[in-house]
Amino acid sequence: MDLAAITIIQVINLIASLALLSIGLAVIFGMMRVINLAHGEFLMLGAYAVLVPTQAGVPLWISMFIIAPLFVGIVGVIIERLIIRHLYGRMMDTLLATWGLSLLIVGAMTMIFGNTMEGISTPFGSFTIGSLADSQYKFFTIGITAVVLLVAYIVLKFTRFGLIARATMQNSDQASVLGVSPPAVYTLTFGIGAALAGLAGAILAPISGVLPTMGAAYIAKAFITVIGGGEAILTGTAAASVFFGAINQTTTFFTSSVVGEVALLVAAIILLRLLPQGITGRFFRRGL
Amino acid sequence: MRGLSLNTAGLLAAAIISVLALVVIPQVAPFYILLQITLYFSFAILALSLAFIWGFGGVFSFGQAAFFGLGGYTYAILSINMGSSTVPLIVAIVLPTVFALLLGYLMFYGRLSSVYLAVITLVVTLIFHKFLGHTAGFEYRIGNAHLGGYNGIPAIPPINVPGDVTKFAFPEDMFYIAGVALVIVYFGLRWLLSSHFGRTLIGIRENEERAELLGYDVRLYKMIAFGIAGAIAALGGVMFTNWNSFIDPHVFDLGMSAQIIIWVVVGGLSTLIGPIIGAFALGILALELGTQQTIDVNLILGAILIIVVLFVPEGFVPTIKRMCIWLAESRGWLRSRLDSSDLEEKQGRDG
Amino acid sequence: MRRRKFLKGAGAAAGAAIVAPTILSSRGARADTIKVGAMHDRTGSHGIYGKEMDDAIKFSIDEINASGGVLGQQLELIAFDTASNMQNYAQYSQRLATQERASVVFGGVSSASRETARPIFDRYKMLYFYNTFYEGGVCDKTVFVGGETPAQMIGPALDYSMKAFNAKKIYTMWADYNYGHICSQWFKKFTEANGGEVVATEFYPLDVTDFSTTITKIQEADPDMVMSGLVGGAHIGFYRQWPAAGMLGKIPLASTVFGPWEKSFLKAEEIEGIVSSFHYFQTMKSAANDDFVSRWHAKFGSDYAELGTLAVCTYNAPWLWKAAVEKAGTFDREPVIEALESGISVDGPGGRVSIDAKTHHNVMSTAIAEVRDGQFDIVKTNADVHPQDTAEVCDLIANPNQATQYIPEI
């Protein structure tokens, strides 16, 4: 029983982390049709944006919830203005440019910070169920993910920005005829996507080793989750995270972590073959 | 065709350059340079496989590295077990081709859109990477060949004269073998693209619906093209494996897959010579950057990629070619052929 | 029959070196500086290990030059950043062998990188030093190993920790490549010899970052001790998630890899009590070490990260080579190998290291350390530990024509 309870918590935690790691990529892909291959590096920047201020004495929560998203968001806005803006509608070119960006950011961070840097330990301590212990931080990750998804839902559904964003998503020409300025919306969207990646990286920082190459371990998973989810940002990411997260974690538990990873990849191929438009291309079509 | 068209001139020039390169370079270049050129020959073949399927077939494949690596591994495993290289060589190209056809069947008959195609090919490559990286255990053994996980397979027997294992290729012989392979692939693709099949393929790239309405089975054409690209990539993989008698799972990693794309994009997407130049130029650049330690290699490669995408979106070869033609025309050297060169230019970009 | 045929072919392939002599004949006879090669991963996934090795080789060659060079000649170091990419290892090895014609090459970080470079140096008859602690078993006439083997690290540390923690049931986890697989075999052998039992052997791909399932599995198994052979940046997550789950101090943790490199990412309270064993720790108390560290800081700055055994083994290797060259009176490979086999030794920052002629490995002292308040606290030192694992199978004096790596048979 203890084992079952802990395992369920771990599965939910993995699903939540997957959703959190992917949501920034999903926002940018869903609204702008841009596949941001520098997403892993945005996560990494977020992690550094927690580490550096915290070590300078800034309280952890301020760096995690304010500095990291803000900093990466600003980086996102600058990148959008300088590079992405010129490549709209050329999906492959944006993919290549953001991949170049990913290399460039890794290189720059290696030059600035080197390969080693003391991290921050995981806050909160542990909990026990029967004889088994695990980290309380898992509940924190799950909670934050729930809040992020909820806020995103409210913003998209009930605010003026959400309305404009959805309109631009569905038909940018018509939206601009109605007086909306798509460039401004795109800049803001890219910034928000980057900020979400920064936040995810910040949440990741206290449970991993922070180094310039860390993004590579996450990009493929986030990429597959977003594409597997399809066009609807929130429902797609959530559904795909549940699907892939459950498959990965259960297989890992019963076999080994390699089989877990391979199972996730095979599931992705089968999913895309059966549902070429992603999960939300067939189900939850009216989701956000 | 009046006189010497640009295409024919280009063909002649390419033929002369290839023969000269294969004859002259070994006479003048030091041994080390020959070894490096041999490596870039194998990469150039790989670049051509993507140039063909993406630039002319309109199918963006993130997974040419999968066929490249599969070819290399197949050759390694079979040649270690069989000693002689003849059968391994054939199987190492046939097997990835069959695999590419199957994968192509899955994707094209499932009518997946281009982004999803890219994802599936990437995922397939990553599965190979994960699986082969996982084979360090002693139980992963195929006959005499231990797959070796991330350490890869060393001491792979070299290519030998069919039927006589004592006559095998020394590293400097690989220069000729890989070079001739590249020349064959290059001219083979030129021929293929000017054939009925190639022109139909380009037609499909330009307008899939129209081609379908004209009665062409688009899915079949794409699947066959994908199979051909897989075969070319596998040939490159065999050459790569022979270059250093060695293969490891890095051929399947994300960096390798992306590197191929950079070669093609920087060189020029809808050309054949561009990707070859791209493979050489960026390979040498990355290697030379590793000899200095002031600026990180990744930073420079990343910057180059961004700059090319933003400012030279067609790649260097088509851009330079266009500039040359423009220059020639504005000076009046090419005036008499204005019409035909316009046509050729368009054809050059299409095929 | 087929097999014999193949062996013949392979023998002939080894003869590919026929081309080498004509190219390399002028080596050692040219110019007034002697070229020395180095290849280390300053960047990429193994950058956390490779940086101090690269700095160490530069430091070592600089000091040798400052002390008058070798046989009166100055050394010219050609150092490459291999960026954790095996293809770079292949290309730079070829370059050092056929273009630069280096007299000796120091380098390689992961086992994969060594196995990429080794056949190339065999083919072109190059003297090669590999200075990383590794899975043992390399038996190659032209290769010298400056790092520790499992018998030198795992053996003594296991002995110590099984006694200290009264451990019988041991749970083991390893990086999923040759290092992990071969070490796990040695580990099993040593554990059983000590009357213990390995209850689990798990392997993790190098890019795994989430270890919660493992931590739960460990608690289910309830071992007396956990042994970690995890490697690289992504695996650091384990050392962070283990205390986060409240496991630190509940089950003792030992490691075959955990050194200053991993430690620099972690907080003191996350790693309290971890046991590891190497030839060198910066916290060792000795005049030689104090002097070494202050010289190092004078060159690279006093804020340089804590040094580990990788830096010191890499630093020692050129001195061993220098001693052998001077004994042989020439830079030529074969006399130098002969001299190296004649019992060359140097006194390095971690104590005396001498070359074992039969295995081409180093006989050296090893220390066992336990992390206390974020520092490696030396709890035990063993003098003159032999690479027993490799010595059991490898004898390059009796059978010099070997270029292989033995793996343990269990």
SS (H, E, C) A79-106: HHHHCHHHHCCCHHHHHHHHHHHHHHHH
Q: With contact defined as beta carbons under 8 Å apart, do A208 and A54 qualify?
A: no
- Report pLDDT digits (tens) over A63-90: 999 999 999 999 999 999 999 988 887 8
To the nearest whole percent, how much of chain B has pLDDT over 90? 40
Identify the residue with better confidence: C290 or A5: C290
> Which partners does chain C have (≥3 C-beta pairs < 8 Å)?
A, B
User: What average pLDDT does this structure show over B285-306?
Assistant: 80
Statement to judge: residues C245 and C303 lie in one domain: no
> Which partners does chain A have (≥3 C-beta pairs < 8 Å)?
B, C
Statement to judge: residues C121 and C253 lie in one domain: no
For residue C31, name the pLDDT band (cuts at 50, 70, 90): low
Statement to judge: residues C36 and C137 lie in one domain: yes
Residues of chain A positioned with their CB less than 8 A from the CB of C43: 110, 115
Statement to judge: residues C143 and C159 lie in one domain: no
Q: With contact defined as beta carbons under 8 Å apart, do C341 and C400 qualify?
A: no
Give the mean pLDDT of chain A: 86
- Please indicate whether, in this complex, the C-beta atoms of C209 and A217 are within 8 angstroms of each other: yes
Among the candidates C261, C278, C295, a domain finishes at C278
Is pLDDT of B341 > 60?
no
Side chain identity at A252, as an amino acid letter?
A: T
Identify the residue with better confidence: C74 or A216: C74
Cβ partners under 8 Å of residue A143, min gap 6: none
User: What average pLDDT does this structure show over B337-346?
Assistant: 44
Q: Predicted ipTM? A: 0.84
Strand, coil or helix: C372: strand
Domain boundaries, position C57: 2-149+285-365+389-405
- Please indicate whether, in this complex, the C-beta atoms of A101 and B300 are within 8 angstroms of each other: no
Instruction: Give the pLDDT confidence score for residue B350 in this predicted structure.
Output: 39
Among the candidates C278, C300, C326, a domain finishes at C278
Instruction: Give the pLDDT confidence score for residue C410 in this predicted structure.
Output: 57
For residue C6, name the pLDDT band (cuts at 50, 70, 90): very low
- Give me the residues of C, 118-147, that contact B with CB < 8 A: 118-120
Statement to judge: residues C231 and C351 lie in one domain: no
Min Cα separation B123/chain A (Å): 6
Give one DSSP letter per residue of A266-288, joined into a string: HHHHHHHHH-TT-HHHHSSTT--
Instruction: Give the pLDDT confidence score for residue B340 in this predicted structure.
Output: 44
- Give me the residues of C, 155-194, that contact B with CB < 8 A: 176-178, 180-181
User: What average pLDDT does this structure show over B11-17?
Assistant: 85
- Please indicate whether, in this complex, the C-beta atoms of C99 and B291 are within 8 angstroms of each other: no
Residues of chain A positioned with their CB less than 8 A from the CB of B310: 83, 86-87, 97
Instruction: Give the pLDDT confidence score for residue A212 in this predicted structure.
Output: 86
User: What average pLDDT does this structure show over A18-34?
Assistant: 88
- Please indicate whether, in this complex, the C-beta atoms of C267 and A119 are within 8 angstroms of each other: yes
Compute CA distances A51 → A64, A197, C235, whole Å: 9, 16, 19
Which residue segments constitute the domains of chain B, with CATH numbers given? 6-350 (1.10.3470)
Which of B168, B290, B298 comes nearest C88 by C-beta?
A: B290
Statement to judge: residues C82 and C118 lie in one domain: yes
C372 within some domain: no
Instruction: Give the pLDDT confidence score for residue A267 in this predicted structure.
Output: 87
- Give me the residues of C, 235-264, that contact A with CB < 8 A: 235-237, 240-241, 243-247, 250, 261-262, 264
- Report pLDDT digits (tens) over C283-303: 999 999 999 999 999 999 998
C410 within some domain: no
Identify the residue with better confidence: A114 or B224: B224
- Report pLDDT digits (tens) over B150-167: 888 888 888 888 877 777
How many domains would you assign to chain C?
2
- Report pLDDT digits (tens) over B110-139: 877 777 788 889 888 988 988 888 888 878
User: What average pLDDT does this structure show over A119-142?
Assistant: 86
Is pLDDT of B210 > 80?
yes
Residues of chain C positioned with their CB less than 8 A from the CB of A210: 265
> Which partners does chain B have (≥3 C-beta pairs < 8 Å)?
A, C
Give one DSSP letter per residue of C89-120, joined into a string: HHHHHHIIIIIS--SEEEE--SHHHHHHHHHH
Which chain B residue has its CA at the smallest distance from A263's CA? B127
For residue C54, name the pLDDT band (cuts at 50, 70, 90): very high
Identify the residue with better confidence: B170 or C51: C51
Is pLDDT of B88 > 50?
yes
Least confident of A106-120, C73-87, C120-134, C301-315: A106-120
Instruction: Give the pLDDT confidence score for residue C79 in this predicted structure.
Output: 92
User: What average pLDDT does this structure show over C253-265?
Assistant: 90
Q: With contact defined as beta carbons under 8 Å apart, do B278 and B262 qualify?
A: yes
Q: With contact defined as beta carbons under 8 Å apart, do B72 and B241 qualify?
A: yes
Identify the residue with better confidence: C42 or A177: C42
C381 within some domain: no
Instruction: Give the pLDDT confidence score for residue B335 in this predicted structure.
Output: 54
Statement to judge: residues C178 and C270 lie in one domain: yes
User: What average pLDDT does this structure show over C135-155?
Assistant: 92
Side chain identity at C311, as an amino acid letter?
A: A
Max intra-chain CA distance, chain A: 63
Task: Report pTM.
Answer: 0.85
For residue B337, name the pLDDT band (cuts at 50, 70, 90): very low
Statement to judge: residues C25 and C121 lie in one domain: yes
Which of B127, B258, B313 comes nearest A93 by C-beta?
A: B313
For residue C13, name the pLDDT band (cuts at 50, 70, 90): very low
Instruction: Give the pLDDT confidence score for residue A202 in this predicted structure.
Output: 94
C243 within some domain: yes
Q: Which CATH number fits the domain that encloses residue C289?
A: 3.40.50.2300
- Please indicate whether, in this complex, the C-beta atoms of A227 and B113 are within 8 angstroms of each other: no
> What phi, psi does C107 have (nearest 5°)?
160, -175
Instruction: Give the pLDDT confidence score for residue A233 in this predicted structure.
Output: 82
Residue A245 CA to residue C209 CA, distance in Å, equals: 14
Instruction: Give the pLDDT confidence score for residue A160 in this predicted structure.
Output: 85
For residue C325, name the pLDDT band (cuts at 50, 70, 90): very high
For residue A285, name the pLDDT band (cuts at 50, 70, 90): low
Residues of chain C positioned with their CB less than 8 A from the CB of B138: 181, 407
For residue C10, name the pLDDT band (cuts at 50, 70, 90): very low
Statement to judge: residues C120 and C9 lie in one domain: yes
Identify the residue with better confidence: C249 or C8: C249
Statement to judge: residues C114 and C9 lie in one domain: yes
Residue B211 CA to residue B227 CA, distance in Å, equals: 20
Among the candidates C260, C278, C296, a domain finishes at C278
Statement to judge: residues C265 and C303 lie in one domain: no
Indicate left, alpha or beta for C273 from its phi (over 0: left) and psi (-120 to 50: alpha): left
Statement to judge: residues C145 and C25 lie in one domain: yes
Instruction: Give the pLDDT confidence score for residue B334 in this predicted structure.
Output: 60
C383 within some domain: no
> What phi, psi does A149 have (nearest 5°)?
-65, -40
- Please indicate whether, in this complex, the C-beta atoms of B149 and C87 are within 8 angstroms of each other: no
Burial class (CB in 10 A: 0-12, 13-18, 19+), B22: middle
Strand, coil or helix: B281: helix
